[in-house]
Amino acid sequence: MSKKAKRLATMKIKNVTLVKTAFNRAEIFNDGRAKIIFMGRSNVGKSSLINTLCNRKHLARTSSRPGKTVSINYFLVNDDFYFVDLPGYGYARISKTESQRVKKLISYFFEQIEGVALVIILIDSRRGFMDSDIELLSKITQKNYKILTIITKSDKISNSHLKNQTLKYQKEFGLYAIPFSIKSTHYKENILKYIEEALNQ
**Burial 101-137, CB ≥16 within 10 A → b, else e:** bbbebbeebbeebeebbbbbbbbbbeeebeebbeebb
Considering only 43, 51, 69, 154, the residue that binds Mg ion (CB under 5 A) is 69
The reply to whether 165 sits near Mg ion by the rule CB under 5 A is no
In the window 147-186, what residues touch ligand GTP (CB under 6 A)? 152-153, 155-156, 181-183
- Calculate helix-pair angle for 3-10, 188-200, nearest 10 degrees: 170
Q: How far is the CB of 69 from Mg ion (least distance, A)?
A: 3
Q: Are 60 and 199 in contact (CB under 8 A)?
A: no
Count of helices and strands (H, E) across the chain: 6, 7
Could you write out the DSSP letters of every residue in 129-151?
A: S-HHHHHHHHHHGGGT--EEEEE
Q: Which residues pair with 13 in a beta bridge?
A: none
The reply to whether 42 sits near ligand GTP by the rule CB under 6 A is yes
- Cβ closer to Mg ion: 35 or 46? 46
- Cα 30 from Cα 151, distance rounded (Å): 29
Q: How far is the CB of 32 from ligand GTP (least distance, A)?
A: 27
The reply to whether 94 sits near ligand GTP by the rule CB under 6 A is no
The reply to whether 66 sits near ligand GTP by the rule CB under 6 A is yes
The reply to whether 47 sits near Mg ion by the rule CB under 5 A is yes
Considering only 36, 45, 121, 124, the residue that binds ligand GTP (CB under 6 A) is 45
Q: Residues interacting with Mg ion, by CB under 5 A?
A: 46-47, 68-69
Q: Residues interacting with ligand GTP, by CB under 6 A?
A: 40, 42-48, 62-64, 66-69, 87-88, 152-153, 155-156, 181-183
